[in-house]
Amino acid sequence: MTELAESFRLSLDDSFTRSLACAAITPGLRSILLFDSSLEVLQLAAQITADMLEVVGYPVKTVYLNSFESEENLWGSWQLGAQSEKQALQWKPGLLTNDSQLCLAIIPDLTKLSLAAARACVVLMGADVAHLERHGQQSQFQPNICWLAGCATGEVGMVSPHLLDRFALRLKGQIRKTTDRAKEILELIDDEGLEKAKKPESLPIEISDKLKKGLQHHPQISPKAIARILNYTSQPEIYPRREIALARLSLANVRLEGGDEMGANHVDIAARMIGLEPISEPIKETPNPIPELPPEPTPKEKKPPSEKENSQLPRTTQKTSELVYQPDKPEALSSIPLKLTSKLENPYPEDTATVEREVDSLRLPMRRFRSKAAPRGSIIGVEKAKTLQDIALVPTLLEAAKYQPIRRKNETTSEKSLLLLSPTDFYSYRRSPVAEQMLMLVLDYTSLKDCDWQEQLLPYLSWAYVERASVCLIQVGAANASNLLQAERIMAHNILVPRINAGLEAGRGKATPLAHGLQLGLQTLRHALQHGRSAVQEAVLVVISDGRGNVPLDGSIKKPVGRKGVEDAFEQAESIGKLDRVKAVLLNPQPKQYADLPLELAEKMGASVIAIPRLGIVEEE
């Protein structure tokens, strides 16, 4: 961040800096979304925003919201008190419930935000008051938070539209480098430059003065400005958040420049700052007191001189085009090797983005089998214990061992214990969320010819989507198999994982290891339903096969196989039928030869049979 911070010059002529200044003096604009921005740019924007808010008069506290934030971290929880304090349990406020000072909440990647944090953002963004009732605690506070988030334009479809709609200010945080490559290399070689402070330069006096004056200035809004705002919206919304955001940005620009009235041309300037295109022709008004923001030229763009300028040039400069375009002085852009741009092609890409999220992406998953959440799932780390459940013993003992010499020195009792523990020593496991239901697909690609299997499989995929079930795809006889004599298994936490879609579209192979595919399915079901703390409470097994397995379990095809492959498949299917909490379904492709094999396979599994219709094939009489 050093190079970027040192080379970026703050000026209200830059639309990015002006947008952040408008958010500093307008609480309704303090939800900022940066598209396609790196962490370096996000940190720089956060530092500039914090400096502007401090000038306005707000002490700023910075917090980061990531993928592991829980309800306890955000809203507060009871925690173990210190050893010296009398109370064993103490209430610790959450990150977002402290309204004593302004909180700058930074979200590095909006697509990886935890479900609890996403729900908190929807509740608090733009709210005038918040009510908290949790674990016997009741409080009412006014949210005093400035939100700054980053998100890639191509991943907008993964975020809930309700969450995206809360961000009032949309900017583009990209870095554009100049063509002065020699200066850039010299700065990288300079060791002293790398040791400089990482913070950008302090706010210029001009910006500080305009922020303080703009905070006290309250201009009027003309009727033409209100009519002009509506020209930027094609379809009226139930709650016009976008129109309100555009009006607030336009009014903030007028406040920064000290204008007396906001007109239609001020709305056009604010719309250009965030990349909005007008639906109708702009309204011509009196000259605008706000100076037009200069366009951001590309590094290769150079404006050719006019004919009048050419006539005033010396004759030596008019002979060749190289001398005509050669500047007499160094370009002003060379002093700024890096520059932030905020020009967006579309500030609301979620309107046209492909949906890659669940329908109820902000809703907690339903629990059909447990009355309360239990500490289940694979261990992904440890954290400070908030309760006495799921204690991590080894990290707790290691934490306590570090302070034994100090604690024994201050011990007053005569009896010496083996290990002195403190409530601050306890750690608990951090676990990944688990699904309570599973969809297992055993797909025989060699039996899918001339049948409409996608239509019959769609209801089960929809069930897995609605129930947020985990998915296991067993590929039998796929064209892209690494070993033609073995089946392959693909595991995913939900149906939206791209590997599942790619696996369903795999072509037809040259062998059918059906017995090995059913064996993989049996092993996976046993592990999911019976291993340790069984997380999966219900499994739906869907098999699409004609029952003709030509590869036995031992993988030997040199000697005559005969019915060995089919018998091995029947044996594995019979073992699957003995499992509890498994609902088995066989989709019958209705083969012309050996039409009774699918029915026998379903009988061994105890599965119901659903026939798959043929695709336009007329049966011979």
pLDDT band at 184 (very low <50, low <70, confident <90, very high): low
In this predicted structure, which of 283-287, 310-314, 385-389 has the lowest mean pLDDT?
310-314
Predicted pLDDT at 433: 66
Which comes out higher in pLDDT, residue 603 or 91?
A: 603
Name, of 1-15, 63-77, 371-385, 500-514, the range with top average pLDDT: 500-514
Q: Is 80 exceeded by the pLDDT of residue 3?
A: no
The tokens 């629990």 sit on which residue? Answer: 367
pLDDT of residue 316: 39
What percent of the chain shows pLDDT beyond 70? Answer: 73
Cα–Cα separations (whole angstroms), residue 519 to 233, 299, 475, 536, 604: 58, 61, 12, 19, 14
Q: Tokens standing for 510? A: 């040259």
Token pair 């029952």: residue: 547
Mind listing the domains of the chain with CATH numbers?
2-81+89-274 (3.40.50.300), 311-338 (no CATH), 382-431 (no CATH), 437-611 (3.40.50.410)
| pLDDT at 330 (0 to 100) | 33
Confidence class for position 337, pLDDT limits 50, 70, 90? very low
Distance between CA atoms of residues 147 and 171, nearest Å: 13
Please say whether the beta carbons of 453 and 488 come within 8 A. no
191 pLDDT exceeds 80?
no
Per DSSP, the residues of 73-111 read HHHEEEEEPPTTSS-SEEEEE-TT---SSEEEEEES-GG
Residue 356: other Cβ atoms inside 10 A: 14
Judge contact between 104 and 53, C-beta under 8 A: yes
13-27, 327-341, 429-443: which is most confident: 13-27
Specify the pLDDT at position 188.
58
Asked which of 170-179, 278-287, 440-449 is least confident by mean pLDDT, the reply is 278-287
Averaged pLDDT of the chain: 78
Summarised one tens digit per residue, pLDDT across range 122-164 is: 999 988 899 888 877 888 888 999 999 999 988 888 898 899 9
- pLDDT: is 286 or 71 the higher one? 71
Of the two residues 563 and 80, the one the predictor is more confident about is 563
Residue type, 535: A
Report pLDDT for 46. 92
pLDDT given at position 598 = 92
The pTM assigned to this predicted structure is 0.57
329-343, 498-512, 566-580 — which is least confidently predicted? 329-343
Query: Which range has the top average pLDDT, 176-180, 262-266, 302-306, 382-386?
Result: 262-266
> What is the rounded distance in angstroms from the CA atom of residue 568 to the CA atom of residue 574?
10
Residue 572 has pLDDT above 80, yes or no: yes
